[in-house]
């Protein structure tokens, strides 16, 4: 039986209920979906929004008005999610710190002097200014995420933005969302080790279409652990597929990666890993990122930002509910290079997160 109304729900323990990745899950009933996701409907419900008639995707940042307001997450719930994420980050870092030390300095970013102290209010001393001239953004030490907003004037949104990513996905609305139509072609392997992650650049021509709006695929890259968390739980890795529409809007497809079977695409990529700060173009080696996608393209949608400086907002986020798999060895290979390249979860600030039914 299909629900006739949109359900406001809270995610109880989604770490691996999302995990089945079965091809038929996308066509199951809402009741079966709730069981698969391991979530319970809240006592309140809201009317399902009408299907958008324009070619634009439904705006992620404008929630359909609920008949009864959804209670916001408590400070304790938010703190718990953030603490758990930090614990995952610390564990990943401790496991591999002795194997590889990656400098926090950016390969393609110039240093800058912040206009204010780390709290954003008090002016910095000349000594601290000189110190900041040598700091690049990274994931630990003086260039860690907490300080990004002070490192350069262009990075101010990392500190002042109200729609930042990543987030913890713990309360969602099940509703109708446009299907993600995938059109990914093969591309010659162009892989970069930029000092923050492993990134693969894509030649023009590949895209996704969401609600009639086409987003060209620019590149994809990886994070460990996953930056987004689901029910306060992080995955060992995640891939972010970065797209751009003709109007300049960015659309990012997030894919959670759990430990399981070996992934054929990662096997190709890891065979050509360049040194930090360098790239490799292997024209004889062709790849297709579609092989990284799970069978079920059910997704969470919200309006967020880039998860790295300059933390630009207005990003159309589509985080797939079902994860893909990679072997323990493949995950360990990435972590040997980047034991922690994940920005901590950011405040939701009243945004609505939708889950496609």
Residue 116 has, within 13 A of its CA and on its CB side, a CA count of: 12
Q: Are residues 189 and 274 in contact, defined by beta-carbon separation less than 8 angstroms?
A: no
Task: Give the pLDDT confidence score for residue 47 in this predicted structure.
Answer: 35
321 inside domain: yes
84 inside domain: no
Structural domain count of the chain: 2
Q: Which two tokens stand for residue 350?
A: 């009243």
Domain check: are 200 and 52 in the same one? no
Residue 21 to residue 285: CA distance in whole angstroms: 28
Query: Residue 244 CB: number of other CB atoms within 10 A?
Result: 16
Task: Give the pLDDT confidence score for residue 275 in this predicted structure.
Answer: 95
Give how far Cα 143 sits from Cα of 84, 130, 133, 189, 235, Å.
22, 14, 11, 31, 24
Domain check: are 55 and 191 in the same one? no
Task: Give the pLDDT confidence score for residue 109 in this predicted structure.
Answer: 34
Residue 342 to residue 197: CA distance in whole angstroms: 10
Give how far Cα 26 sits from Cα of 20, 23, 58, 309, 321, Å.
11, 7, 19, 34, 10
Residue 289 to residue 2: CA distance in whole angstroms: 33
pTM of the model: 0.70
Task: Give the pLDDT confidence score for residue 26 in this predicted structure.
Answer: 38
310 inside domain: yes
Residue 71 to residue 329: CA distance in whole angstroms: 42
Task: Give the pLDDT confidence score for residue 6 in this predicted structure.
Answer: 41
Give how far Cα 260 sits from Cα of 31, 143, 323, Å.
27, 33, 10
87 inside domain: no
100 inside domain: no
Task: Give the pLDDT confidence score for residue 135 in this predicted structure.
Answer: 82
Of 41, 69, 97, the one marking the end of a domain is 69
Task: Give the pLDDT confidence score for residue 89 in this predicted structure.
Answer: 46
Domain check: are 183 and 64 in the same one? no
Of 69, 92, 113, the one marking the end of a domain is 69
Q: What is the largest CA-CA distance in the chain?
A: 67
Domain check: are 63 and 203 in the same one? no
Pick from 131, 132, 135: nearest CA to 109: 135
Range of the domain at 52: 6-69
Per-residue pLDDT of the chain (357 residues; tens, 9 = 90+): 433 334 444 444 443 334 333 333 334 555 555 455 544 443 333 433 333 333 333 334 333 333 333 344 444 444 444 454 445 444 444 443 333 333 333 333 333 333 333 333 334 444 544 444 558 999 999 999 999 999 999 999 999 999 999 999 999 999 999 999 999 999 999 999 999 999 999 999 999 999 999 999 999 999 999 999 999 999 999 999 999 999 999 999 999 999 999 999 999 999 999 999 999 999 899 999 999 999 999 999 999 999 999 999 999 999 999 999 999 999 999 999 999 999 999 999 999 999 987
Q: Are residues 37 and 172 in contact, defined by beta-carbon separation less than 8 angstroms?
A: no
Q: Point out the catalytic residue in the list 196, 221, 240, 243.
A: 196
Q: CATH no. for residue 299?
A: 3.10.200.10
Q: Which two tokens stand for residue 299?
A: 């997704």
261 inside domain: yes
Q: Is 196 a catalytic residue?
A: yes
332 inside domain: yes
For residue 210, with 0-12 CB atoms within 10 Å meaning exposed, 13-18 middle and 19 or more buried, which class applies? Answer: buried
Strand runs labelled E in the chain: 6-11, 39-46, 168-169, 171-175, 180-183, 187-193, 198-201, 207-210, 213-223, 229-230, 237-245, 250-259, 278-287, 299-305, 313-320, 324-326, 354-356
203 inside domain: yes
Residue 24 has, within 13 A of its CA and on its CB side, a CA count of: 3
Domain check: are 183 and 50 in the same one? no
Of 51, 69, 87, the one marking the end of a domain is 69
Query: Residue 76 CB: number of other CB atoms within 10 A?
Result: 8
């Amino acid at each position: 039986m299909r629900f006739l109304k949109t359900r406001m729900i809270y995610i109880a323990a989604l770490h691996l209920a999302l995990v089945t990745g079965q091809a038929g899950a996308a066509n199951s009933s809402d009741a079966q979906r709730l069981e698969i996701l391991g979530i319970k409907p809240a006592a309140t419900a809201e009317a399902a929004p009408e299907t958008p008639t324009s070619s634009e995707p439904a705006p992620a940042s404008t929630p359909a008005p609920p008949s009864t307001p959804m209670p916001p997450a408590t400070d304790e719930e938010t703190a718990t999610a953030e603490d758990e994420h930090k614990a995952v980050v610390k564990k990943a870092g401790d496991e591999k710190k002795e194997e590889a030390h990656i400098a926090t300095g950016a390969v393609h970013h110039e240093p800058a002097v912040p206009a204010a102290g780390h709290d954003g209010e008090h002016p910095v001393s000349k000594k601290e200014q000189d110190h900041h001239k040598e700091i690049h953004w990274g994931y630990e030490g003086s260039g860690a995420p907490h300080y990004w907003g002070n490192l350069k004037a262009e990075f101010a949104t990392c500190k002042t933005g109200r729609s930042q990513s990543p987030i913890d996905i713990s309360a969602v609305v099940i509703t109708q969302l446009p299907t993600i139509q995938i059109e990914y072609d093969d591309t010659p392997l162009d892989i970069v080790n930029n000092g923050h992650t492993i990134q693969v650049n894509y030649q023009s021509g590949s895209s996704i279409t969401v609600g009639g709006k086409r987003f060209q695929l620019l590149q994809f890259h990886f994070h460990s652990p996953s930056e987004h968390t689901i029910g306060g739980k992080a995955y060992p890795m995640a891939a972010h597929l970065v797209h751009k529409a003709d109007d300049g809007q960015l659309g990012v497809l997030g894919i959670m990666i759990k430990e399981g079977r070996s992934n054929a695409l990662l096997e190709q990529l890891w065979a050509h890993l360049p040194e930090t700060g360098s790239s490799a173009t292997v024209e004889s080696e062709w790849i297709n990122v579609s092989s990284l996608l799970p069978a079920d393209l059910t997704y969470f949608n919200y309006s967020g930002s880039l998860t790295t400086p300059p933390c630009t907002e207005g990003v159309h986020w589509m985080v797939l509910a079902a994860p893909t798999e990679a072997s323990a060895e493949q995950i360990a290979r990435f972590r040997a290079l980047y034991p922690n390249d994940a920005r901590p979860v950011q405040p939701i600030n009243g945004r609505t997160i939708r889950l496609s039914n």
